[in-house]
Amino acid sequence: MSEAVLPSAPARLAFVGWRAHLAALGAIAVAILAIFRRDAAAMASTWWHSSTYEHCLVIVPIIGWLVWQRAPLLKRMEPHAWPLPLLWIAIGGLGWLVGEAAGVSLARQLGLVMMLQGAVAAMLGRGVTAGLIFPLFYAFFLVPAGDGVIPPLQTITAKLCMVFLAAVHVPATIDGVFITTPAGLFKVAEACSGAKFLVAMIALGVLVANLGFRSWGRRAAFMAVCIVVPILANGLRAFGTIWVAQYRGAQAAEGFDHVVYGWFFFGAVIAVVLALSWKFFDRPADAPPFDAARAEREVAKQRAVWPLAPAVVAVLLVSMVAPVWSRIVATEGASNAYEITLPSPQGWTKVEAGRSWRPRFDGATLLMQGYRNAAGQQVDLAIAYLPVQDEQHSLVGYGHGAVDPQGPWSWTSDLPAPTNGRAEQLLAGGQPLRTVVSFYNVGGMITGSPARVKMETLKRRLLGGDRHAMALLVSADEAEGGRAAVDAFLAGIGPVQPVLKTIAGAH
């Protein structure tokens, strides 16, 4: 059955309408990108410098191709300014404001993309937006999102390795992301988690699902394959590296990993997925890119039509609300820097801090001090202080905290937490297990939850209030007392909240 084609407006009027509306849209897009240039530049820099998101470099041309594919049908429609997408722009602006307040670049960049999507819809109207709905949705893949899946993917990959090693009768033990075999100790590092392949595969899968399938059931099944196959394949790759090391040595394993790992590996995964799915495609190759009859119905539903000039002004004003509000409250609640005084608990003597472990808090004042008691227990105390948090200077976030992703230590498990704190166990090759207990303080609120730190920081940056932030971490390895040493030291310094006030000079 052939799909209905939208009746065209008179050619000259349609041409004039498109020219004016596209010019207005271009001006708005340039203005929004200029207002939020920091976030646009950060996105582009991430695409260029991060191997996890380098696939985003092809998303822009893919969107251009998708629009070009729809051009013959779109040019038969007359664009009209549409006020309803101002709500989408406002939601994007609110997302940007939340990201700015919490220091979360993902939220800011997502908000920027939403504002640009809303501008397209506002300038071109409901019918044209219906024809462009998939390219507009696909623009979400411009946002570098996926760092949060790295830790669970490391764990999944390690567990898959154990399954495969057991299948070939290689004895192995697992501790978090560390695997020990007769060939040595192996770590499933962040780069080996397979995150970059999974993120890229999801983006490719969504495109193929739109082009190759009509049935939503088949699309869902295909996307499940696009998620499961890369994870299994990455686990098999990591297992292969360990297996080669077991029988051919570490040098051979390193060579194997360098040959297999990379976009060659991803290309092979793509080939497998497409080969498995090709015969299930149910969308004809010559099918129109969108349902023109549905777009016609959407045209009829657009009740409000704005003059172009007021629409441009409205889009720009709504887009500017968030950055203007952020600037107004930017200096409210900022704290002055102050001198940090380290505690001197009774029964503990200050010694040099150990050199094997060091937390990471970029941009913070970080002090470390070792302590030893008469029983021979030794702990390392780390104090990180920030007068004000922002994206580059924050207590929590990717890469911040007890584990430095660029260091030798990796998280293995959470331990029973003290009141308002967090306890975790770390491991590094050749080092004893290490216990770390962390407390965070934002404007006097003490917690061990990174999520609560984010929420409290967000609240204070949006509504005002004291925003000084501090982290207190106490750490000890198993050879020097482990958790018992940490608990003894915490008992020696007393309740954390007054201790932090003392450390900060009764701030």
Q: Is 368 helix (H, G, I), strand (E, B) or coil?
A: strand
Q: Which residue has the tokens 């509000």?
A: 325
Each domain of the chain, given as residue ranges in start order, spans 17-125+302-331, 147-280, 348-504
Task: Give alpha helix (H) positions in 380-481.
Answer: 450-463
Handedness of CA 416, 408, 262, 265 (dihedral sign): negative
pLDDT at site 255: 56
Show the DSSP H helices in 249-335 as ranges: 250-260, 263-277, 292-301, 308-328
In the Cβ-directed half-sphere of 129, how many Cα atoms lie within 13 Å?
A: 23
Query: Mean pLDDT over residues 173-199, rounded?
Result: 85
Please check whether residue 469 is in contact with residue 386, taking contact to mean a CB–CB distance below 8 angstroms. Answer: yes
Percentage of the chain beyond pLDDT 70 is 90
Place of tokens 């993917």: 153
Task: Choose among 151, 147, 154, 157: nearest CA to 199.
Answer: 147
User: Average model confidence (pLDDT) for the chain?
Assistant: 86
Residue 32 C-alpha from the chain's centroid: 23
230 Cβ neighbours under 8 A, 6+ residues apart? 194, 197, 198, 201, 266, 269
Mean of pLDDT values over 310-314: 95
- Residues paired with 446 in a beta bridge: 441
Residue 171: strand pairing partners: none
Cα–Cα dist 220/359, whole Å: 42
* Structural contact between residues 481 and 475, judged by C-beta atoms closer than 8 angstroms: no
- The single-letter code of the amino acid at 179 is I
Residue found by looking up tokens 């506002």 in the block = 122
Using 50, 70 and 90 to split pLDDT, how confident is the model at 117?
A: very high
pLDDT category of residue 85 using cuts at 50, 70 and 90: very high
**Could you give the CA distance from residue 479 to residue 204 in angstroms, rounded to a whole number?**
49
Using CA atoms, how far residue 122 sits from 113, 300, 313, 314, in Å, is 14, 16, 11, 10
Q: Which two tokens stand for residue 270?
A: 């793509």
Tokens of 50: 């991060």
CA distance 33 to 22: 16
> How much is the average pLDDT of 188-200?
85
- Of 377 and 302, which is predicted with more confidence? 377
3-state secondary structure of 28: helix
C-alpha–C-alpha distance, residues 114 and 111, integer Å: 5
For 378, residues 6+ apart whose C-beta sits below 8 A from its C-beta are: 351, 354, 370, 371, 372, 476, 480, 481, 485
Phi and psi at 120, nearest 5°, equal -60, -50
What 8-state DSSP symbol labels residue 395? S
> For residue 156, what are its two tokens?
């999944």
Q: Residue 18 — φ and ψ, nearest 5°? A: -65, -40
Cβ atoms of residues 30 and 249 within 8 Å? no
- Given this model, what pLDDT does residue 1 score? 40
Measured CA distances, 499 to 348, 437, 488, 493, 503 (Å): 16, 15, 15, 7, 6
The arithmetic mean of pLDDT across residues 477-493, rounded, is: 92
Collapsed DSSP state (helix, strand, coil) of residue 295: helix
pLDDT of amino acid 140: 97
Confidence of residue 13 (pLDDT cuts 50, 70, 90): very low
Confidence of residue 504 (pLDDT cuts 50, 70, 90): low
Residue 154 has pLDDT above 60, yes or no: yes
